[in-house]
Homo-oligomer: A and B are copies of this chain.
């Protein structure tokens, strides 16, 4: 499966959970095509590649589809994450309700500032960064979100990988890359969300609409 197909499948999965939540039992390819931003033909093709077949009269049972996509996406295990850097964005993510429908849960935060980690009003426990390795091992967490300032992002990523983290979502404005195994790096999946860069691209596209492919 390539990454475009994976994105579509996770979108179908999200949409299905929402449709079930509002009481629907059956879904058609064009319902899912709206959610994933593709044509109904692509939805049918994806399902056919995954050996998922509709009913004779058309349409799919939502519960059935959720179960099948869930197996494909490797759901079932809890999808626990930690947040490293509990400034405004980190705090917003600790409180974020948009993770729940996907079974993602923020289980702990980390910060270097005693004022922050001594504060007990956070929705999840916040620990000093020095306890990273111990807490990661105790909680069995494999994925971390980095929301530290730009100047400490690279250092934080290194600490996380040393402590056993295998996946990182980086919000700091520098682009983090996984070190290849040939350079002594241990395997880690890194995704970067660069908010300023996204805005830059929008401004650019407005300025020069004809130059974009």
A120 within 8 A of B: no
User: Which one of A54-62, A125-133, A205-213 is at the B interface?
Assistant: A205-213
Residue pair B195, A98 in contact (C-beta under 8 Å): yes
Could you say which of B92, B150, B172, B189 contacts A202, with CB atoms under 8 Å apart?
B189
User: Which one of A7-15, A39-47, A107-115 is at the B interface?
Assistant: A7-15
Please report the C-alpha to C-alpha distance between residue A172 and residue B96 in the assembled complex, in whole angstroms: 11
Q: Which residue of B lies closest to A89 (CB)?
A: B92
Contacts of A52 in B (CB 8 A): none
Contact digits for A157-191, partner B, Cβ 8 Å, 1 yes 0 no: 00000000011110011010100000000010101
5 contacts between A and B (CB under 8 A): A1-B211, A91-B92, A98-B195, A167-B205, A191-B202
